[in-house]
Amino acid sequence: MKRAAPAVVLSASLLAAAPTAGPWEPPPVAVSRETFEVSYPKATVSAAVLTLETLSAALGNDMSPEDPERPHPTAEAANAVRSSISALSSWLRHELEEPGDKVGASGPGVAEFLTANASTIDKIVSLVAGNQEIAWDLDVARGIDAPLPNLLGVTRLQRILAAQALHDIRNGDPYEALTIVDGMWRICEALAARPELITQVIALQQARYAEGILRKVSAPAYGWSERLREEGLYHALLAALQNDPWISATDPNRAEHAAIRARVSRRFVDGLIAESACGWSREAIAHEWEVAGSGEGALEEDITAMASDEIVDMLLRSNRFLLDSEMTALVVEARIDKAADRDGRWPEKLPNLESSVCPGRFYTYRRAGGANLDFPGAVPRGDRDSLALPMSFRGAPTPTPTPTPTQPRPVLTPTPPAHRLLGR
């Protein structure tokens, strides 16, 4: 079973067309420097991001680029928040790497930080979960000197939002947690809409936090199964991999070299997506590079060097992200069935447990003491230094209702008939 390839748009006129209403779409794959520039027109930072930078600075988190005109927290505020960010990051990782669906107590300082900054966090959630455009400065004409978002600051903000969502789940407000997850995902999509590979890597890392929260939230997350199975963020990474040669092609003397690299990248991606993602390995990826670069003459050695350790690691991690998304979609579907059950029970079975990421392999599911979902066997490894969602899920059983004690019926004493009045 072959995986569907992301759409490749060849016409510059189509690339320039305004997006239509509907699901978020990953960027197109450009076939020339000209179409690449049309795909990514110069843009300035949106008003929503400027507001986010101000609100983030109020939390002590610097989300702005190195520009003195943009808002930055004071050194004192940044130092004060550092321990809180570290504590909530540790709590997040511990809770989201647990297969159970319950949220444990946060560590010291986490609840205090969230409570003290509740008003600011509420404003951030309202902004990112709304309909305002989230976009950063973009100028591909500057090549490798093009502006980038402050990715470290954005990642810190996403962890704060994820911690707030877990805090809401623990305190019995799953619907607010779903609102936060929606905002987190919109930030990921805004990053994935950019051409740089580094932003794609960060977007996938941040999306894992959103997926981990979806596994914990008790409310039915309608629409999320389809969103996860569309694999938009993954296709955006593949598009960026194919577009990457155009970023440094600002020199006309390098145009032909960039065109060859881009052509090889397209062949490479086509070869990868034709195979099961679970079958990828370092050796298989290196072989695909060699096959894709064959016939390019003097550039073959240069093209083989494109398969750097960083690129290979990135591709292997993206495979794990696909499985993370697929398992999260199954959990979401099971919760929706549970919400529809009159007694609030987990479904007896799930309709299709064959993996679309790893065709021929199956998830196991059983309803015994709750919900038990597993993906047995070897899987692509996750990030070494970041969140690694488990390939198993344990949903708690539905609590047995406590019977209401039956009260004894009162004994009714018959009332004697009223005496007739004398003389009547």
Is residue 208 located within the same domain as residue 333?
A: no
215, 333: one domain? no
pLDDT at 68 over 80: yes
Chain centroid to Cα 324, Å, comes to: 10
If one counts every other C-beta atom within 10 angstroms of the C-beta of residue 198, the result is 15
pLDDT at 16 over 70: no
Q: What is the pLDDT of residues 128-171, one digit of tens each?
A: 999 999 999 999 999 989 999 999 999 999 999 999 999 999 99
**379 lies in some domain:** yes
- Is residue 353, in this structure, part of any structural domain at all? yes
Q: Is residue 254 part of a domain?
A: no
Domain's final residue, options 189, 219, 249: 219
Residue 34 covered by a domain: no
Kindly state whether residue 313 falls inside one of the protein's structural domains. Answer: no
Same domain, yes or no: 215 and 351? no
Confidence tier at 193 by pLDDT (50, 70, 90) = very high
The mean pLDDT value for 114-137 works out to 97
380 neighbors 316 (Cβ within 8 angstroms): yes
pLDDT in tens, 197-210: 999 999 999 999 99
Distance (Å, whole) CA 280 – CA 285? 7
pLDDT at 92 (0 to 100): 96
pLDDT of residue 51: 98
Residue ending a domain, choose from 188, 219, 250:
219
Query: Does the residue 351 lie in any domain?
Result: yes
Residue 422 is predicted with a pLDDT of: 41
Give residue 398's pLDDT.
82
Share of the chain above pLDDT 90, in %: 63
pLDDT value at residue 23: 76
- 202 and 63 within one domain: yes
Tell me: do 177 and 324 sit in the same domain. Answer: no
How crowded is residue 90: how many other Cβ atoms within 10 Å of its Cβ? Answer: 13
Task: Mark whether 47 and 192 lie in a shared domain.
Answer: yes
Look at residue 383 and tell me whether its pLDDT is greater than 80: no
Residue 30 within any structural domain of the chain: no
| Domains in the chain, number | 2
For residue 299, what pLDDT band results from cuts at 50, 70 and 90? Answer: low
Q: Are 82 and 209 in a shared domain?
A: yes
User: Do 199 and 78 reside in the same domain of the chain?
Assistant: yes
**What range does the domain containing 86 cover?**
42-219
Classify residue 143: in a domain, yes or no. Answer: yes
